[in-house]
Amino acid sequence: MQVKLADSYGFCFGVKRAIKIAEENPSSHTIGPLIHNPKEIDRLWNNYKVDVVEDIDRLQPSERAIVRTHGIEKEKLQSLKDKNLDVIDATCPYVTKPQEIVASMSAEGYDIVIFGDIQHPEVKGVMSYATTMVHVVMTCEELESVRLREKIAIVSQTTKREEDFLKIVDYLVGRYKEVRVFNTICNATFDNQSAAKKLAGEVDVMLIIGGKNSSNTKQLYEICRQNCPDSYLIEGAEDIKSEWFSGKKLCGITAGASTPDWIVQDVISSVSRI
């Protein structure tokens, strides 16, 4: 089986930075999973004894706490500091930006619209910086029943598709007098999505590697599936099924922003042997 990699895939700047922080601080605790990739979380525990803590009340003063790449709620961050923990903030700078925008726009009296998944930790963190009304939506239809004031500011979850974000923007601009638009979609996400879309149109079968709880990986999968019906989301080589490749000649491979290269190489080796 021939294999072709996407031109842009895998670890983004924010994830590389967070992994480096964790490796440089062994025996520390991440507040929630540092990134959305179970295999890499296991590696950090096995090699560096960096564990995952959801309940911050478990932590004792002077212990080292690492804030996840997706960020955490403003109040939870303050609680960590109040407990006199050694807090290291590994929040991706691209995630910090919408937090700052929401705080600033709220202070100026703007209602906030966030394009994203309300259950995602990044969105929960961004929401916590609003002091005015905040609405999280995934579609224009969700805005139809929402009452907004005349001043609106909109940001996006960093891993969303730009074309979907622009649909929400167009809806708001056509109905409200003042809409401040902040495109907070990460450049690396956009590059990975564009490369995945291009490659999916060229191959017989497509593999998307990443944590199944990863937002940006699921976005990649949806993009690939639209352009290559035989697209499969896997976390590692062990998920591969040989029947996927029956009658196929060229396999495309991409990976989410939280997928380390060692997993990508394992998958390439497994597919090449089919």
Rounded-to-integer distance, Cα 252 and Cα 207, Å: 6
pTM of the model: 0.84
- The DSSP annotation for 120-174 comes to SHHHHHHHTT-SS-EEEESSGGGGTT----SEEEEEE-TTS-HHHHHHHHHHHHT
Query: What is the per-residue burial (b if ≥16 Cβ within 10 Å, else e) of 63-75?
Result: bbbbbbbbbbebe
- For residue 50, the domain's CATH number is 3.40.50.11270
CA distance 203 to 198: 10
User: What is the token pair recorded at 38?
Assistant: 């179970």
Q: For residue 215, what pLDDT is reported?
A: 84
CB 264 within 8 A of CB 207: no
Whole-angstrom distance, CA of residue 95 vs CA of residue 129? 12
Looking at the structure, tell me whether residues 24 and 69 fall in a common domain. yes
163 plus 219 within the same structural domain: no
Please give the C-alpha separations between residue 38 and each of 19, 49, 211, 229, in angstroms, as whole numbers. Answer: 13, 15, 6, 26
Q: 53 in helix, strand or coil?
A: strand
Q: Determine the pLDDT at residue 4.
A: 97
Q: Give the model's pLDDT for residue 85.
A: 93
- Residue 101 and residue 116: Cα distance in Å, rounded? 15
In the prediction, which pLDDT does 49 show?
98
Of 185, 202, 220, which residue sits at a domain end?
185
Is 54 in the active site?
Answer: no
> Quick one: pLDDT at residue 214?
86
The per-residue pLDDT for 165 is 96
Identify the pLDDT of residue 43: 95
Helix (H, G, I), strand (E, B) or coil at 255: strand
Same domain, 102 and 38: no
Give the chain's largest Cα–Cα span.
Answer: 60
- Domain harbouring 260, CATH code: 3.40.1010.20
Q: In the chain, which stretches have pLDDT less than 70?
A: none
- Choice among 40, 122, 202, 243 that is catalytic: 122
| pLDDT tens digits, 108-119 | 999 999 999 999
User: Is 174 found in the same domain as 105?
Assistant: yes
- pLDDT (0 to 100) of residue 71: 96
Strand order, beta sheet including 231-234: 2-5, 250-255, 205-209, 231-234
Same domain, 174 and 240: no
Domain that holds residue 21: 13-90
